[in-house]
Structure 1
């Protein structure tokens, strides 16, 4: 596992952050022009990095088609935020560490990252597991929230999951 100190050293500025993300396959190293199917090159203009097609001169954000697209946070800070989220650190801790002035930004990113990880887990869990001699552990949870334990019960999803204790394969299904 990479330490926070190693990540900070590798992502001191925007350019090194891009190289770090590409080196770890978080963002694409190649991008093809949708107009003329040419391989696009990275260009830097006014400290902004973009994909540019040398044939038709189309430009596209370097972070297009990634979860990082359209973020107003500085890229090295965003990488820190994702790292803190992955360690399950509190939003208050993250707010203090990245010196963000907006609690809303941290909350929205934590929500976005949680949703994204749910979609990834759900898509990875499309395989059938089990069989003769396999042990599968299955559990269910209902996700709902009532303020102060009062009020109407909101219709909320049940999530059923199972994991093969030997291979680590799993499935998740949600039902309303």
Structure 2
């Protein structure tokens, strides 16, 4: 996975609109040239208005260079939008994004929601698969919800099935589900874990048929006795820790069916 470049290398893109445009053209997001869709003639590019206009005198067709892109119908500059996207990738708090980009809170929140939806749509076109021959994957489930007043049990929320590799990369998957039952969980595991993996879970009955129905090696730890098998060393501490981190990242008010798929 590519790392996020340092701010210093992108500063001109964020604060110089000509540089931002060239960046988007080089990335093939904004076209450098095009034929007129009306007459088929070459077009000239009017930078000030971001328009491609036919060079055929008898044709008055003009096409906005932003048409069909993320930037269509957006009034903010390319650089400002890219700057917001960069800060969002760095998990910058909203108040800091507002200050850095000099944009009001409504606009910032609207764009951040848009960014999340774009990423969600992109991820849903390709299933995330972890594991592989001989790789151990810890799998667990958790309830993502608000806490009841003066109680420790979640109120409304969403069940999420997740898995994390016990590898250097620690690849993960998180899937919100409607039901907390064996059939649902086995279907998630089948879709998101590659053949040949070794699975570690707790003793919840929903995992009992992993080996029988999916044909994968399955080892368990009894949490009523210990968090780590005293003889086997088997545990699910990695995925448990991952849940803790995930819950710190997702505000309680966003742990709903509507928001969870986007937030995950």
Give yes or no for TM over 0.5: yes
Bigger mean CA offset, 27-36 vs 12-21: 27-36
Q: What secondary structure, in the 3-state scheme, does the structure 1 residue paired with 2:50 have? A: strand
Instruction: Report 1:88-167 matches (<5 A).
Output: 88-100=91-103, 102-124=104-126, 126=127, 129-145=130-146, 153-154=155-156, 156-166=157-167
Is the aligned partner of 1:8 residue 2:11? yes
Q: Measured at CA, do residues 3 and 38 of structure 1 come closer, stay the same or move farther in structure 2, by a change above 3 Å? A: farther
- Structure 2 CA distance for aligned equivalents of residues 97 and 116 of structure 1: 23
Q: Secondary structure at the match of 2:125?
A: helix
Alpha-carbon separation, structure 1, partners of 2:147 and 2:41: 52
Distance 1:127-1:93 versus aligned 2 partners, 3 A rule: closer
Task: Tell me the SS of whatever aligns to 1:48.
Answer: coil
Q: Does 1:75 align with 2:109?
A: no
State whether residues 11 and 76 of structure 1, in contact with CA within 8 Å, keep that contact through their aligned partners in structure 2. yes
Tell me which structure has the larger Cα radius of gyration: 2
Structure 1 unmatched ranges of 5 or more: none
- The whole-number CA distance in structure 2 between the counterparts of 1:78 and 1:37 is 33
Correspondences of 1:9-24 after superposition (within 5 Å): 9-23=12-26
Q: Mark the CA change 1:11 to 1:160 in structure 2 (over 3 Å): closer, same or farther.
A: same
The answer to whether residue 66 in structure 2 is matched with residue 63 in structure 1 is yes
Alpha-carbon separation, structure 2, partners of 1:140 and 1:119: 23
Contact 1:33 1:58 in 2 (8 A): no
Structure 2 unmatched ranges of 5 or more: 179-264
TM-score (norm 1): 0.69
What does residue range 25-64 of structure 1 map to in structure 2 within 5 Å? Answer: 25=27, 27-29=29-31, 35=37, 41=43, 43-44=45-46, 47-52=48-53, 58-64=61-67
Cα RMSD (Å): 3.8
TM-score (norm. length: structure 2): 0.50
Q: Structure 1 pair 138/96, CA: closer, same or farther in 2 (3 Å)?
A: same
Q: Please state how far the C-alpha of 1:130 moved relative to its aligned partner.
A: 4.0
